[in-house]
Structures are given as C-alpha cells and as structure tokens.
Chains A and B, each alone.
Chain A
Amino acid sequence: MKALVWHGKEDIRCDTVTDPEIQDPRDAIIKVTSCAICGSDLHLFHNFIPGMMPGDIMGHETMGEVVEVGSGIDGKLKKGDRIVVPFTIICGECDQCKRGNFSVCETTNRKRHLADKVFGHTTAGLFGYTHLTGGYPGGQAEYLRVPYADATHIKVPAGIPDEQLLFLSDIFPTGWQAAVQCDIEPTDTVAIWGCGPVGQMAIRSAILLGANQVIAIDCLPERLSMAEAGGATTINFETESVLERLKELTDGKGPEKCIDCVGMESHVMASLPDTLLDRAKQMVMAESDRPHVLREMIYVCRPGGVISVAGVYSGLSDMLPMGAFMNKGLTMRTGQTHVNRWTDDLLRRIEEGEIDPSFVITHTVPLEQGPEMYQVFRDKRDSCVKVVLRP
C-alpha cells in the first residue's frame, strides 16, 4: 500500500509499504477513506519531538471502513462498519479509561518503558506519533491497523460526508476539551492563542459553550478571517499589541479564560525577544519548547482565571513566570485529548446541524501529494488552513 513515511527532518515521502496485518485478536484493519495533516504532525516534520525513526508512518486523523477484524473483537465492530479512529489508542478497561482519562490509558503504549522514563508515567499509545507513545504506524496510508479496535473507534452513520466526521478523530474534540476545561460562564471572555485548525475548533466550542466574548489571536489574515467568521474578535499579534488590545477588550481586567492552541513552536519575531532566545536555546538543545504563549497567557489572564493548554509541549520550557501564576491564583489544565469522552456528544451536534467542522478544510488532495502538502501547510502558503488527504 501507499503511505506517508517519515525519513528525517523535513523529509516525508510517499512510499510503498507492506500492508498491515492483524497482530492481535483485538485488532481491526480499516481501508482509509480520508485522513488529514495536523499541526502536531508539523512538530514531527521539524523533528522537534524526540522519538521518531526513519520508516515510521505518519498520521493520526483517520477514518475509513472496517475490512478485517480480529477474533477478539466480540461483535463490537464488524466488516463494513464505517468508523472514525481517535488518535489516542484506548483499552477501555484500565483505571484511567474507566474514568474517561483516555489519553493517559495505562495499557496501550507498547513502548511504555520509554514513556515511564521520560514522563514519569506512561500515557496512551498514539497513532503515527513517536516511539515514546508506542511507535504505532499512522493513518496517512491506504490501510491502517487499529489496535484495541473494540474500544478504539467512533462508529459513524452513513449519509454524512467524510469531511464532516473526520475531525472527530482529533481537532474537534481537542478544541472542545480545551474550551470545556475552562468551565466557561456566560459572562466570560475567552482568549484563544493560535487560529490554526485547533484554534478554529476551540473558537466554535467556546461559542457553543456560551462564552460572552471570544477573542482570537494569530498573525495570518486568512486564519483571522476564519476566526471572525466563527464569532471571534481578532488580534493580529504582528501588527497590534496583544497586551493592550486584550486590556481594551476586557475593560482592563484581562480575559477570565485563556486557551493555548499554538504549542511549542510559537512564532519567532525580533519584536518578541524571548522567542529569539528560546529559538537559540532550542538549537543548542538547552530548551525543547518555545513557551511564549504560556508566558503571555499567565501575564494577561485575569486573577483567579483558567489557562487551558491544547498546544503540544514536548519537554522543558524555561522562564515561566511562576510568581504571577501562583500569586494570581491561576489554574492550568492541559492534556492530549480524551477523544472518546466527547465524541458521542459532538457526533450528535454534527448530526443535528449545530456545527459542521468541514468549514476548516482548505485543501483536499490525493495521498501521493501529501509530502508537498506538508510543506504548503507548514509555510502557510496558498492560504492553507487544513489539508485532507484521500488515499
């Protein structure tokens, strides 16, 4: 089959690889009908998250049709079922899964010894996302083996196009969880950093959860226009002062809730000297992340407020203003998304026409063009926001 394979920094190729096989009774194989490129894939493209190996298949936003099931699936899934695959592989039985903390499932990381060492405890296995989280082959491919498939799936009905359902795999529940973690109240201003696909979903989620005002921050006009379309007031951090504008928009009080949808690769700009220093340290491996957004959020957040972090951080971040964080009594909530905790509700909202997540797609291309699209998405060329690949 064809698959997008990681060969090194900025080197993803469309290779021919052997087809996946059932390895365990709880496995299923799907024929992929649609998959997407995520901002998280860009961190891997840049080799900023350790633990990739040449030959790894990329991709964790995938859906398709079940073509084979293992003997242990027990009728929970059968040939011909249409499923969206959550990016977190879950067993459904461990202590964490039972609490709905699916992204920290204790069972599914087959290389848990690595994660135990690096993070202190293992987290869930993830598709196409480094050997720290299991080194599982990803879904930017024609076929995908889904481990623990009896739990790791979202069944979706026929009659709704792929485009509307695909993002149940990651970015829609990710934006949703980021907003839910804020405990939004009807008087709240929610400020959202980053208007990439995750930020766009967080904006819609904050609106659906009843925020009084949503403010979105980015520097790309096309993404800001999409944010505005979704109901946000926008700030362009390249041409305006984020601190001043946020003050203005909140009568000097600051947003009650702040959401980070940027992560470890915050934009580097001469006018933001901390980003230059972070970048320099990152190069000599003295720091792994560029946490400019975290610093800014802690500084502007209203005392007593909540900071919700959806953006991915990989290791060590320097110079976080813990004094402000502690004295202002802020709360920080983080996490890879517990996808299946939210998807029943979100699928219903899609079915009822409350939201249509396909608004974010700007490019749909055959899988073979994937390697080029990584570059287009990374360079923000052609007003690209979200790329869907069709095997």
Chain B
Amino acid sequence: MFHFSNFVRTEGDPKIVEGGPSLKRPADQLARALGWFSIGLGLVEFLAPRRVTETLGMEGHETMVRAFGVREILAGIMSLSVDKNAGLWARVGGDGLDAAALLSGLTPDNPKKGNIALALLMVGGIAMLDYRAAQDTKPRRPPRDARRKLYPNRSGFPKGIENARTAAKQIAAHPKA
C-alpha cells in the first residue's frame, strides 16, 4: 500500500506497511467539510460584500454581510478544531441569522427575488447538514451526574497511608539517619 508519510521518514525508522482503521466517523468528515465551506463562504462575504448584496438585490447591507463573513470564518475555524461540536452549533445558529436576513430582503419590489429564494433553499439544505453533524459529533464526555466508579481504596501505599506519613516525619526529624 502507498503511504505518503513514508517518504519523509528518517532513514531507518519504521515505515507503514499496512494502515489500520481510522476511528474518524462520517460525521467528523462532514464537520470538516462544513468547516472549510464556512471559511470559504466567510471569505467571500468579507472580501466581496458588494457582489453578494448585488446578487441578492440587497444593496446597502454590505456591513452586515461583512459581519456575517467574520461570523462564518470563526464558526468554520471552530468546526475544524477539537471543539467542532460548538462550531457546528454556532453554524446552526448562524444559518438562522442568514435565513432571517434573506427573508427581510424578500420584498415584492426586489428584482432579485428569485436569487433570494434560491439562497434560502441553499441555507435550508446546509442548515440540515449542520444540524445533522452537530447531533452526531456530540462530545462523549459523561454528563456531570453520570454514575462513576470511585477509587476510595487505591492509596498506593501498601503499608498504609499512616505508615507513609510517619516514615516521612521520622526522616524529617533525623535527616541524615
């Protein structure tokens, strides 16, 4: 099997012969894809807000689009981190904001109504993916009230803890004994 990482191994170090299974779940891959998508969209919104407002017939709202861009980028970075779950929920919330903003532009006199409808459809689709990924990447830390094993008998001192304390005190009293 071909393993790219083998090329950069230091001469003589073990190289991969056969890769084992990865524990990454499909939801992790989805989270990653959504994270990069979020950053891409955010960059467009941040760098070319005018293009966005023109397409949607919502000229004059460039500042809001820029702000949404920053939000997308931050949510994207979070979705790519170990705290991806928080990032994905941030995206779900952001989808709501996107939809609300788009709806506000859906007025009868907007000549680009069609584009807004299309954008709303897209936001709906992505929101479903975001929600799905957020559900499937819930952190697996046990909840605070979960039942746990306790270890009240594991002192680590075979002769008992009092013995350990006393021995230490004796040494302290006669340091060179």
Q: Are A381 and B156 in contact (CB under 8 A)?
A: no
Instruction: Write out the residue numbers on chain A whose beta carbons fall within 8 Å of the beta carbon of B104.
Output: none
Instruction: Write out the residue numbers on chain B whose beta carbons fall within 8 Å of the beta carbon of A17.
Output: 14-17
Known contacts A54-B5, A207-B168, A375-B140; decide if A226 and B12 are in contact (CB<8 Å). no
Instruction: Write out the residue numbers on chain A whose beta carbons fall within 8 Å of the beta carbon of B148.
Output: 220-222, 383
Q: Are B16 and A10 in contact (CB under 8 A)?
A: no
Q: Which of B20, B23, B24 has the most CB of A within 10 A?
A: B20
Partner of A355, one of B9, B13, B152, B158: B158
B interface residues, how many (CB within 8 angstroms):
52
- A391 proximal to B (CB < 8 A): no
Q: What range describes how many residues of A lie at the interface?
A: 35 or more
Q: Closest Cβ of chain B: how far from A109's Cβ, in Å?
A: 13
Interface string of A219-252 (1 = CB under 8 A from B): 0111001101111000000100000000000000
Partner of A228, one of B4, B22, B152: B152
Closest residue on chain B to residue A22 by CB atoms: B12
Interface string of B150-164 (1 = CB under 8 A from A): 111111111101001
- A80 proximal to B (CB < 8 A): no
Instruction: Write out the residue numbers on chain B whose beta carbons fall within 8 Å of the beta carbon of A381.
Output: 140-142
- B83 proximal to A (CB < 8 A): yes
Closest residue on chain B to residue A239 by CB atoms: B144
CA distance A359 to B164 in the complex (A): 15
Q: Are A208 and B164 in contact (CB under 8 A)?
A: yes
Q: Are B6 and A200 in contact (CB under 8 A)?
A: no
Q: Are B149 and A222 in contact (CB under 8 A)?
A: yes
25 A–B contacts from the bound complex (CB under 8 Å):
A1-B14, A3-B14, A10-B24, A11-B22, A13-B19, A20-B14, A207-B164, A208-B168, A221-B150, A222-B149, A222-B150, A222-B151, A225-B151, A225-B152, A226-B151, A230-B157, A231-B161, A231-B165, A283-B81, A354-B159, A360-B154, A371-B23, A375-B140, A379-B142, A381-B140
Q: Which 9 pairs, one residue from A and one from B, show the smallest C-beta to C-beta distance? A: A55-B5, A210-B168, A359-B156, A225-B150, A383-B149, A17-B14, A226-B151, A16-B18, A14-B20
A→B interface (CB under 8 Å): 1-3, 5, 7, 9-21, 23, 46, 53-55, 57, 110, 135, 137, 141, 186, 200, 204, 207-210, 220-222, 225-226, 228-231, 238, 279, 283-284, 353-357, 359-360, 362, 371-372, 375, 379-383, 385
